[in-house]
Amino acid sequence: MKGEKTRLRIAATSDIHWPQYQGLFIKALRQLPKPDLLLLAGDLVNRGNPHSITPVIEKLKEAKLECPILACFGNDDYDSIKDTMRTQGQDTIQFLDDELVTLPIQGKQVSIVGSRGVLDQPTFWQSRNIKEIKEVYTKRLDVLDSLLEKAKALSRYLILLTHYTPTFMTLKGETKRSHAQMGSRRVEELLKKHSPMLAVHGHAHNGLPKAKLNKVRIYNVALPLNRRIVVINRL
C-alpha cells in the first residue's frame, strides 16, 4: 500500500558453540522465516576449534537465506582463529571486529557497529593470559564511541552488535558476582549517549532475552536461552 512503511525483518542468534548446540541451530534455521538481515553475535564455535566454523557456514548456505549475514567474534572465537573464520566465511559471513558497515536493505541505509565488546572486569583467565587486557577494553570502549558517532551521521537505522552484554540489564538470571565479567555498564553509557535503535548481544545463556534502556531496545539472542533464532520486526 502506498505510504506504508516497510519494516525490516532482522534475525539474530549467537552462542551456537558448534558442535555443542548444532541440533538446536539446525532446527532453528529450518523454522526461520526469510529475514532481510541475519546477525550472529559471536561464539559460533566451541573453545576455539577452527574446524567448527565450516559446518556452521554449510548450514547457513543450505538455508538459502538470501540476505546479508553479519557477525562479531565471541570469546570462544579465539583471536588465533579469527583469520581462519574470515577466510572460511568470506562468501557467506561478513565479520565485524571493532568495525562499522552500512548496507542498503529494503530501501533503508542500515549501519551496524560490530565488536566482541567490553568487560568491566576481565575474567581470571584473561587477566592471566592476555597482556594488558584492561587497556584493551579501555581502548575498545573509545573505538566503539567513535564508530557509533560516525554511524549516526550515516544512518538513522543504527545497530550495535556485540558478544558481551552492553548492559547489566539482561544479565538478571546470571550469577550477580559474574556480571562485571560478562558485560559492561560503561558500554551502557554509550547506549545512552548514541541511542542506537537496537543493541544485539549474546554470551548470557541464563540471562533475560530482552530489555529497554531509554529508547534503545536490547536483545540477548543467545541460542541456549531463546531456543530459537530471534526475529525482530521493528526496524
Digit-coded pLDDT (tens) for 123-178: 999 999 998 999 999 999 999 999 999 999 999 999 999 999 999 999 999 999 99
The arithmetic mean of pLDDT across residues 32-47, rounded, is 97
Domains and CATH numbers, the chain: 10-232 (3.60.21.10)
- Give the pLDDT score at 7: 84
- Give the pLDDT score at 233: 84
Cβ within 8 Å of residue 137, ≥6 positions away: 118, 119, 120, 122, 184
The arithmetic mean of pLDDT across residues 63-71, rounded, is 97
45-63 pLDDT per residue, tens: 999 999 999 999 999 999 9
- Give the pLDDT score at 5: 61
pLDDT at 1 over 70: no
- The answer to whether 29 and 63 have CB atoms below 8 angstroms apart is yes
Residue 113's DSSP bridge partners are 100, 160
Give the rounded percent of residues in the chain with a pLDDT score beyond 90.
Answer: 95
Averaged pLDDT of the chain = 95
The arithmetic mean of pLDDT across residues 85-103, rounded, is 97
Residue 162's DSSP bridge partners are 115
Cis peptide before 33 (omega within 30 of 0): no
Residue 109's DSSP bridge partners are 104
Amino acid at 206: N
Q: Hunting for cell 522465516 — which residue is that?
A: 33
| Full DSSP string of 109-133 | EEEEEEE----SS--HHHHHHSTTH
